[in-house]
């Protein structure tokens, strides 16, 4: 592979982005295409996937292959087998995984929680298993798993989502150690609030004023939405430089503060912020 950049030598020739048609995934797609990687984009909606792919083909001299798949499908392993075997994938970004609403666990259908577990735990594990083994055999490659600031502490209203994002973070850390020994870079990316189309469609509402009564938890957690391009850029800059990266200076400062905060207080802050973000009123708590 002479004549290739160090990035393409380590992570080329193909990058697979699970959830690559919008938001942070789309930003990864553009930035990876700019670095010369061919792209495999997965998402559910064909129209959105094709629009994203055409946009990239017009701007960059790379191949783009699109695949409409639901990453929560119970037979995901079998569905992806042929796809991952067809091309030499040197980089995998597992991006899809946002929660699109919030509510107390017992006020929402079990199926919603199970779907999040499939999307954020079973999905990344499946792709890591399929692609990671090939990367390990080649002695090069990279894997980025999208986690979240929600992985830093449990939170009411998004209890399952936060738990699945903690899974992604801890999985990335373990794989960073395991696969690092074979020349494969693994990064768990903790994103904070980010302005994506999925967030715009969800019940989340970011209040930029941060001054109204009841904003205390959000202010303490410094929830200021980031541009998805910046989140992807920071991740690519830090791939190969440690197991975890928290996107955004404010998020890194918040993570440090949370680590020093007593656990009960941290969980309460996260829960109040989740309620505020989704326009929910926390129930009165009994006991302590």
List binders of ligand NAP among 60-89 (CB under 6 A).
Answer: 69-72
Binding mask 155-184 for ligand NAP (x = CB under 6 A): ------------------------------
Residues 133-140: contacts with CB under 8 Å, at least 24 apart? 134/84, 134/88, 134/89, 135/89, 135/90, 135/179, 135/182, 135/184, 136/179, 136/182, 136/184, 138/88, 138/90, 139/182, 139/183, 139/184, 140/9, 140/10, 140/11, 140/90, 140/183, 140/184
Q: Does 43 bind ligand NAP (CB under 6 A)?
A: yes
CB of 95 or CB of 130, closer to ligand NAP: 95
Distance, CA of 48 to CA of 198 (rounded, Å): 12
Least Cβ distance, residue 288 to ligand NAP (angstroms): 30
CB of 140 or CB of 217, closer to ligand NAP: 217
CB of 94 or CB of 140, closer to ligand NAP: 94
List binders of ligand NAP among 12-41 (CB under 6 A).
Answer: 19-25
Q: Does 198 bind ligand NAP (CB under 6 A)?
A: yes
First-residue to last-residue Cα distance in the chain: 62
Least Cβ distance, residue 83 to ligand NAP (angstroms): 13
Distance, CA of 104 to CA of 106 (rounded, Å): 6
List binders of ligand NAP among 217-246 (CB under 6 A).
Answer: none
CB of 144 or CB of 179, closer to ligand NAP: 144
Radius of gyration of the chain (CA): 19
Q: Does 151 bind ligand NAP (CB under 6 A)?
A: no
CB of 79 or CB of 136, closer to ligand NAP: 79
Least Cβ distance, residue 287 to ligand NAP (angstroms): 31
CB of 29 or CB of 37, closer to ligand NAP: 29
Distance, CA of 54 to CA of 58 (rounded, Å): 6
**DSSP string for 116-183:** HHIIIIIHHHHHHHHHHHHHHHHT-EEEEEEEEGGGGS--TTSHHHHHHHHHHHHHHHHHHHHHHTTT
List binders of ligand NAP among 100-139 (CB under 6 A).
Answer: 119
Task: Give the interface with ligand NAP as residue ranges (CB under 6 A).
Answer: 19-25, 42-45, 48, 69-72, 95-98, 119, 146, 148, 191-194, 196, 198-199
């Amino acid at each position: 592979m002479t004549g290739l950049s160090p990035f393409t030598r380590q992570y080329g020739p193909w990058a697979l982005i699970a959830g690559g048609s919008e938001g942070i995934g789309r930003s990864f797609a553009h930035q990876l295409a700019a670095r010369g990687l061919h792209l495999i984009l997965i998402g559910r909606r064909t129209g959105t996937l094709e629009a994203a792919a055409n946009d990239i083909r017009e701007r960059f001299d790379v191949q783009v292959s699109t695949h409409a798949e639901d990453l929560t499908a119970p037979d995901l392993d079998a569905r992806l087998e042929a796809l991952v075997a067809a091309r030499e994938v040197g980089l995998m970004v597992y991006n899809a995984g946002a929660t699109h609403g919030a509510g107390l666990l017992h006020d929402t259908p079990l199926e919603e929680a199970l779907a999040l577990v499939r999307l954020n735990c079973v999905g990344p594990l499946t792709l890591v298993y399929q692609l990671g083994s090939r990367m390990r055999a080649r002695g090069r490659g990279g894997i980025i798993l999208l986690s979240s600031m929600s992985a830093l502490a449990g939170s009411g209203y998004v209890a399952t989502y936060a738990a699945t994002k903690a899974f992604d973070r801890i999985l990335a850390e373990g794989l960073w150690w395991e696969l690092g020994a074979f020349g494969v870079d693994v990064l768990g990316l903790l994103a904070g609030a980010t302005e994506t189309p999925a967030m715009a469609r969800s019940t989340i509402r970011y209040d930029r004023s941060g001054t109204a009564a009841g904003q205390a938890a959000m202010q303490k957690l410094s929830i200021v939405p980031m541009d998805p391009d910046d989140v992807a850029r920071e991740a690519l800059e830090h791939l190969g430089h440690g197991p975890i990266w928290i996107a955004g200076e404010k998020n890194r400062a918040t993570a440090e503060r949370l680590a020093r905060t007593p656990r009960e207080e941290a969980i309460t802050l996260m829960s109040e912020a989740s309620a505020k973000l989704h326009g929910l009123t926390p129930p009165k708590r009994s006991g302590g």
